[in-house]
Chains A and B, each alone.
Chain A
Amino acid sequence: MAIRKKLASTWARLFGDSARAFGTLGLVVLVLLAIVPARDHFREWYRYQKGYLLLIRGRDDAVTLQRRLQTGVQQTWIPDLNVVDRCSSCHVALKEAGLRGAVTQPFRPHPPIPHSLDQFGCVMCHRGQGVATTVEEAHRSTKAWEQPILPARYFESSCGQCHSDKLTGTPRLNAGRTLLARYGCVHCHTLTLPDGSRLAPTDVPPSLAHVGEKTTREWIYAWIKNPQAYSGTATMPNFQLSDNDARDISAFALAQSMPLTDTTAPAASTAPSDGDALQAGTSLYGESFCASCHAMQNAAGLLVGGDVGPELTRIGTKAKPEWLRQWVRNPKAYDPGTKMSHYRFDEKQLSLIEGFLESKTDPDFTANVHLEPATAQQIAHGKLLVTEMGCAICHEINGLQKPEDFAPDLKLVGARPLEKIVFLPGMPRALPAYIEAKIKQPRSFGSALKMPQFTIATSQVDNLVTALLAQTDRASTLPASLRVAGHSPSSYEPAGTAGRLMQDLNCFSCHSINGHGGDMAPDLSWEGSAVQRDWLFNFFKDPNTLRPALIRRMPKFNLTDQEANALTDYILTAYQTPAFERDSIHPDSDSAAIEQGRQLFYSKYACQACHIVDPKKDKGYVGPTLTQVGSRLNAAWVFQWLKGPQASRPGTLEPDWKMSDADARSLTAFLMAQKGHGAPQEGTRR
Chain B
Amino acid sequence: MRTALGVVAAMLVALSISCSRRPAEPVAKPPAATPSAIVEVSGGKQVSTVGTQLDQPLVVQVNNSQGAPVAGAPVRFRSANGVVFQPVSGVTGSDGQFTFAVTLGSLAGRYQIAVSTTGTGGKVIETRITELALGFEENKGRQLGDFYCARCHDPESTPERVSNHDNLVAQPHAFDDGAFLNKIGDGDLLAIISHGGPALGKSAEMPPYEHTLNKADIAALVAYIRAVADPPYQSGEAVYAQR
Could you tell me which A residues sit within 8 Å of B by CB distance?
A: 101-102, 104-105, 108, 111-114, 151-155, 168-169, 171-172, 304, 458-459, 462, 549, 551, 603-606, 609-610, 619-622, 644, 646, 653, 655-658
Contact = CB atoms under 8 A, between A and B. Distances in A.
A655 B211 contact: yes
Contacts of A111: 108, 135-137
Contacts, number: 106
A272 to B, nearest CB: 31
A101 B109 contact: yes
A458 B53 contact: yes
Interface in B199-243: 203-205, 207-209, 211-212, 216-217, 219-220, 223, 234, 237-238
B85 to A, nearest CB: 14
Contacts of A104: 107, 238
Contacts of B53: 153, 458-459, 462
Interface of B: 49-53, 55, 101, 103, 105-109, 135-137, 139-140, 143-144, 147-148, 151-152, 159-162, 164, 167-168, 203-205, 207-209, 211-212, 216-217, 219-220, 223, 234, 237-238
A655 B164 contact: no
Contact of B208 (A101, A102, A459, A655): A655
Contacts of B238: 101-102, 104
Contacts of A113: 136-137
Contacts of B49: 153, 172
Contacts of A604: 204
A112 B207 contact: no
Contact of A609 (B50, B144, B168): B168
15 contacts: A101-B234, A104-B238, A111-B108, A111-B135, A111-B136, A153-B49, A168-B143, A168-B217, A304-B159, A462-B53, A603-B204, A606-B204, A609-B152, A653-B147, A655-B209
A598 B79 CA distance: 58
Given A108-B107, A153-B50, A603-B204, A620 B137 contact: no
B143 A610 contact: no
Q: Is chain A's interface secondary structure helix, strand, loop, or mixed overall?
A: loop
Contacts of A108: 107
A610 B152 CA distance: 9
A462 B135 contact: no
B51 A152 contact: yes
B106 A549 contact: no
B219 A655 contact: no
Contacts of A549: 161-162, 164
A168 B216 CA distance: 12
A534 to B, nearest CB: 30
Nearest to B198: A604
A101 B204 CA distance: 34
A621 B207 contact: no
Contacts of B211: 644, 655-658
Nearest to B217: A168
Given A621-B167, A644-B211, 6 more contacts: A153-B50, A155-B136, A462-B52, A549-B161, A619-B167, A656-B211
